[in-house]
Structure 1
């Protein structure tokens, strides 16, 4: 299989998972009480993090391989959008993640809910970066 197609598949999976979180999982959490909402996020986050982190790294790696073999700049651009997810996560989302991970569901309140909403908005940036990577990889193919 061609490296570009692998990069596209990985980032399509990443983007689909990210979009699912933004449009399905997080809105479903909104129907829960503050503490339940936080507890659900705390249970879901480690699994989603591992899955999405590996997909983003894979998209970056295979995007660079595709750029090397095909000589197309769009593969490099897609790879950069893929790895930009790590940058955005560590620079902007991780401080929120640490607060939410350390929070106690028994004492969660409206401020906790607001922090979860902020997290969802920040996560939407990741969804957008994934979509941009998919568009680049698709166009390069």
Structure 2
């Protein structure tokens, strides 16, 4: 079994989901009025969190299996980019998430919209980490 190919497929799915959020879902959220954008984010976030978290963890897991099975620094690099999503999210994205989750959509103001934009930029970093994992695993294929 080729664990590098599985890690590549998993992280390609992660990156596709993350890119969709950045390029499709968030721009659609911007068109909503007042606190409706925040309310949409609050509905979407719990579902997306588990999907993306599990994909990033699976990418790391299969990347480590590929490292032990086939070796190669690129498998290690891909695994580290995969798990970096967890580290980055915990350190930088979660504080923003907590504020957005705790904000009442009826009380949303311009600062809330700025925070949603900051969230999207931070999420873009996660998309980039996923893409870096994809490139690493692709380059590691035999």
Q: Normalising to structure 1: TM-score of the pair?
A: 0.99
Match of 1:130 in 2: 130
2:100 equivalent to 1:97: no
Q: 1:112: how far off? A: 0.5
Total equivalences in the alignment:
141
In 2, Cα distance between the equivalents of 1:57 and 1:119? 21
* Root-mean-square deviation over aligned CA pairs: 0.6
Contact 1:34 1:112 in 2 (8 A): no
Match of 1:67 in 2: 67
Match of 2:13 in 1: 13
Contact 1:96 1:115 in 2 (8 A): yes
In 1, Cα distance between the equivalents of 2:17 and 2:130? 10
Q: Normalising to structure 2: TM-score of the pair?
A: 0.98
Gaps of 5+ in 2: none
Match of 2:47 in 1: 47
Q: 1:97: how far off? A: 0.1
Q: 1:2: how far off? A: 1.4
Q: 1:34: how far off? A: 2.5
In 1, Cα distance between the equivalents of 2:38 and 2:110? 11
In 2, Cα distance between the equivalents of 1:76 and 1:96? 30
In 1, Cα distance between the equivalents of 2:34 and 2:2? 46
Contact 1:4 1:62 in 2 (8 A): yes
Q: 1:47: how far off? A: 0.4
Gaps of 5+ in 1: none
Runs of 4+ displaced beyond 6 Å: none
Q: 1:37: how far off? A: 0.2
Structure 1 residue matching 2:35: 3-state secondary structure: helix
In 1, Cα distance between the equivalents of 2:8 and 2:129? 13
2:130 equivalent to 1:113: no
Deviations 1:25-59 (A, max 9, x none): 00000100131000000000000000000000000
In 2, Cα distance between the equivalents of 1:98 and 1:33? 22
